[in-house]
């Protein structure tokens, strides 16, 4: 067993667990703290350090953020303070914890978990992982290789970002039943298929626990699968990324 701490930042809470990066299973109970408000870099770094101290693994740490992340620098800020834009998170967290870290987009992290151990395991060709929550996160793979930082939730639909039409949050806010929401998701999947021709869509995020309710309503030439890891996918994928970065770096 090789254990790595994975941390996943959400709009309301920050989750963490120690992950066995050989099996892809969390080997400790999930811990969480509320996402600080305002969610500035300094306040989140304090929260990361608090979670890290609970586990004291001593090894590398993986962090999944709701942001485009380039070489450890956060370029966007979704559901966190705008002070994250342009912040060198990897360097700051490495200095705070005193050991190697990997920082990546949260949907990319979820996708890594699903492709390595979950619904996409052993799948070749083009796979698109979509997480439906507050927004729509995305990750695209070709033969298991990630193209990082796609922002397919911002694809235009009916004059708006797709995530403002078909996210889980929109379904709740607008009181959409499953058929009405599935119609919007189908339109989104059709648009995505016309652009990228994936072999497989893997759907995760907050709605994945209700997959049985809406799966029969979904239509696509691509195979549609439920994500396997649910709310733990981000931290599991972050741990995998940290282990990989330590191996190659």
Residue 71 burial (CB count, 10 A)? 7
Indicate whether 79 pLDDT > 90: no
pLDDT bucket at 249, cuts 50 / 70 / 90: low
Question: What is d(CA 145, CA 131) in angstroms, rounded to the nearest whole number?
Answer: 18
Indicate whether 37 pLDDT > 90: yes
In the predicted model, what is the mean pLDDT of residues 181-204? 98
Domain co-membership, 196 together with 174:
yes
Three-point CA angle 42, 31, 28, nearest 5°: 130
- The answer to whether position 130 is within a domain reads yes
Omega within 30 of 0 (cis) for the link into 38: yes
pLDDT bucket at 245, cuts 50 / 70 / 90: confident
- The answer to whether position 86 is within a domain reads yes
Residue range 213-244, pLDDT digits in tens: 999 999 999 999 999 998 899 999 999 999 99
Indicate whether 248 pLDDT > 80: no
pLDDT recorded at residue 134: 87
Residue range 114-160, pLDDT digits in tens: 999 999 999 999 999 999 998 999 999 999 999 999 999 999 999 99
Are 34 and 53 in contact by the 8 Å Cβ rule? The answer is no
Domain co-membership, 164 together with 79:
no
Rg of the chain over CA atoms, in angstroms? 17
Domain co-membership, 151 together with 103:
no
pLDDT recorded at residue 240: 97
Indicate whether 104 pLDDT > 80: yes
Mean pLDDT of the chain: 95
pLDDT bucket at 83, cuts 50 / 70 / 90: very high
The per-residue DSSP string of 16-80 comes to: EEEEETTTTEE-S--EEEEPPSS--HHHHHHHHHHHHHHH---S-EEEEESS-EETTEE---SSS
The number of distinct structural domains making up the chain is: 2
The DSSP output letter for 82 is: G
Residue 216: C-alpha distances to residues 175, 185, 210, 237 (Å): 20, 12, 12, 28
Question: What is d(CA 144, CA 146) in angstroms, rounded to the nearest whole number?
Answer: 6
- The answer to whether position 78 is within a domain reads yes
- The answer to whether position 114 is within a domain reads no
Question: What is d(CA 229, CA 129) in angstroms, rounded to the nearest whole number?
Answer: 12
Are 57 and 32 in contact by the 8 Å Cβ rule? The answer is no
Residue range 18-30, pLDDT digits in tens: 999 999 999 999 9
Domain co-membership, 85 together with 8:
yes
pLDDT recorded at residue 1: 67
Domain range for residue 48? 3-108+232-248
Question: What is d(CA 130, CA 139) in angstroms, rounded to the nearest whole number?
Answer: 7
What CATH number does residue 92 fall under?
A: 3.30.420.40
């Amino acid at each position: 067993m090789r254990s790595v701490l994975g941390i996943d930042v959400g709009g309301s809470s920050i989750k963490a667990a120690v992950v066995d990066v050989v099996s892809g299973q969390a080997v400790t109970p999930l811990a969480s703290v509320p996402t600080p408000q305002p969610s500035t870099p300094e306040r989140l770094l304090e929260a990361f350090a608090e979670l890290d101290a609970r586990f004291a693994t001593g090894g590398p740490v993986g962090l999944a953020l709701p942001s485009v992340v380039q070489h450890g620098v956060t370029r966007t800020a979704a559901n966190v303070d705008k002070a994250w834009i342009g912040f060198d998170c990897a360097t700051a967290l490495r200095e705070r914890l005193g050991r190697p870290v990997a920082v990546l987009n949260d949907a990319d992290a979820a996708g890594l978990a699903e492709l390595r151990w979950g619904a996409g395991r052993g799948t070749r060709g083009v796979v698109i992982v979509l997480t439906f929550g507050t927004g729509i996160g995305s990750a695209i793979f070709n033969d298991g290789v990630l193209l990082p930082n796609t922002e397919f939730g911002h694809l235009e639909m009916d004059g708006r970002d797709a995530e403002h039409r078909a996210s889980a949050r929109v379904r709740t806010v607008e009181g959409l039943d499953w058929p009405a929401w599935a119609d919007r998701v189908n339109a989104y999947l059709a648009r995505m298929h016309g652009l990228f021709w994936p072999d497989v869509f893997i759907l995760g995020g907050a709605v994945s626990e209700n997959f049985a309710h809406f799966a029969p309503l979904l239509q696509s030439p691509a195979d549609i699968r439920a994500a396997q890891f649910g709310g733990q996918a981000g931290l599991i994928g972050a741990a995998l990324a940290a282990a990989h970065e330590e191996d190659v770096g």
